[in-house]
């Protein structure tokens, strides 16, 4: 089956990491997020993917110039302006001339979902579209779904008020959709699949949903991005790639952290629950906790960073203390 992966968003919540790099090209334990997503699809028999691009399409084309991602051929549709999640599906289906049922994925979700079971469920229930559901403790940030015993969706409510959610089952961002769904999406303006298309289909009783409780993480915020890295490190995912090579002095203290290729951690520095991209330098006596540092960041002696997101090539001078700060790319 063909899969359209939505990767055209601006990723504003992950700035400054996404200032020049689209979210799905950020590394999770050294491997760009899009490769995690595509290789999972390949494990479920997907033979070709379509990237619905918008923000910084060149980042993908430059990284995968031979037309393959993780060994899977890809096609592209580049939106001239952001069309929203449903608008992007419509545009991609037209550009890629999709005539059959296809998969759609939010490209910023990492999951071990049984995609084959979702496709099977979709055809057994003769649904027009089927969405994967995940149970979460706080559904207020997501699209909440209630279903009948048959799996038919009764209600689809995007981001309900805190404490007023009718269920803890949320839209997990993987869908199987028939070609007829594309014709439901209005042309010529941005359309959200979560706010328009799915609620309308729920009313029309043609939308189904399959419960799944496997590894699932939306990586949209710095905390979640950090968590995605730690989950791989701590073996919560089915696969773990070779980790990047860094040079860490014997007396540096590094715990639960991913340190990118070419990064140096000097003696007496402490790095905990953090992700450092490539070519960072952490000087003697610096402490980095719960932070994400993009490529080429320099952290001077005795500096303390806690809960920070630092853009590439920033210099944090010796002795500084930064708590919960974001620093743009320099
Ligand atoms: P924020 O700006 O931080 O909200 O991030 P985002 O722009 O990625 O938005 P969101 O997390 O809601 O998007 C969910 C998925 O849809 C992500 O994989 C986005 O890349 C993708 N996406 C969102 N809007 C568009 C769009 O207009 N076009 C395309 N092609 N993809 C989109």
Q: How far apart are CA 90 and CA 116, in angstroms?
A: 23
pLDDT band at 170 (very low <50, low <70, confident <90, very high): very high
Q: State the burial class of residue 40 (Cβ atoms within 10 Å of its Cβ: 0-12, 13-18, 19+).
A: buried
Q: Does 247-323 match 2-233 at the fold level?
A: no
pLDDT at 135: 93
* Cα→Cα distances 276→117, 209, 211, 257, Å: 36, 38, 35, 8
User: Domain limits of the chain?
Assistant: 2-233, 247-323
What percent of the chain has a predicted confidence (pLDDT) above 90? 85
pLDDT tens digits along 76-96:
999 999 999 999 999 999 999
* Nearest in space to 41 (alpha carbons), one of 90, 109, 87: 109
pLDDT band at 326 (very low <50, low <70, confident <90, very high): confident
- Runs of H (alpha helix) within 71-155: 84-95, 115-124
pLDDT at 279: 96
Q: How far apart are CA 128 and CA 197, in angstroms?
A: 12
pLDDT at 238: 79
Cα of 301 from ligand 1 centre, angstroms = 38
Among 32-41, 153-162, 195-204, which stretch is predicted with the lowest mean pLDDT?
153-162
* CATH class as words, domain 2-233: alpha beta
Q: State the burial class of residue 81 (Cβ atoms within 10 Å of its Cβ: 0-12, 13-18, 19+).
A: exposed
Encoding tokens for residue 81? 């302006």
pLDDT tens digits along 255-264:
999 999 999 9
Q: Which CATH architecture does the domain made up of 247-323 adopt?
A: 3 Solenoid (2.160)
Task: Name the residue with the closest Cα to ligand 1, atom 24.
Answer: 9
Q: Measured from the CA of 92, which atom of ligand 1 is nearest?
A: 30
pLDDT band at 192 (very low <50, low <70, confident <90, very high): very high
pLDDT band at 10 (very low <50, low <70, confident <90, very high): very high
| Model-wide pTM > 0.75 | yes
Residues with Cβ within 6 A of ligand 1? Answer: 6-13, 23, 52, 54, 79, 82-85, 88, 106-108, 220
pLDDT at 158: 84
């Amino acid at each position: 089956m063909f899969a359209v992966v939505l990767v055209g968003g601006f990723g504003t919540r992950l700035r400054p990491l996404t200032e020049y790099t689209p979210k799905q090209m950020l590394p999770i334990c050294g491997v760009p997020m899009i490769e995690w997503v595509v290789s999972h699809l390949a494990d479920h028999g997907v033979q070709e993917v379509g990237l619905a691009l918008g923000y910084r399409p060149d980042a993908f084309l430059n990284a995968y110039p031979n037309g393959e991602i993780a060994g899977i051929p890809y096609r592209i549709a580049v939106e001239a302006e952001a069309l929203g999640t449903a608008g992007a599906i419509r545009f991609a289906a037209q550009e890629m001339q999709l005539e059959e049922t296809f998969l759609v994925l939010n490209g910023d979700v990492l999951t071990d979902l049984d995609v084959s079971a979702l496709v099977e469920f979709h055809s057994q229930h003769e649904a027009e579209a089927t969405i994967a559901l995940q149970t979460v403790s706080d559904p207020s940030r997501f699209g909440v779904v209630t279903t009948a015993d048959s799996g038919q969706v009764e209600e689809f409510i995007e981001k309900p008020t805190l404490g007023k959610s009718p269920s803890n089952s949320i839209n997990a961002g993987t869908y199987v959709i028939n070609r007829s769904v594309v014709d439901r999406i209005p042309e010529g303006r941005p359309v959200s699949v979560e706010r328009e298309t799915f609620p309308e289909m729920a009313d029309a009783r043609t939308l189904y949903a399959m419960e799944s409780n496997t590894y699932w993480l939306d990586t949209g915020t710095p905390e979640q991005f950090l968590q995605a890295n730690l989950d791989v490190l701590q073996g919560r995912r089915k696969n773990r790639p070779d980790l990047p090579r860094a040079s860490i002095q014997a007396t540096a203290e590094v715990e639960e952290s991913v340190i990118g290729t070419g990064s140096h951690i000097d003696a007496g520095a402490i790095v905990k629950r953090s992700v450092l991209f490539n070519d960072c330098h952490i000087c003697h006596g610096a402490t980095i906790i719960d932070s994400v540092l993009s490529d080429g960041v320099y952290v001077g002696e005795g500096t303390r960073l806690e809960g920070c997101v630092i853009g590439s090539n920033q210099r944090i001078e010796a002795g500084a203390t930064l708590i919960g700060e974001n620093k743009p790319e320099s």
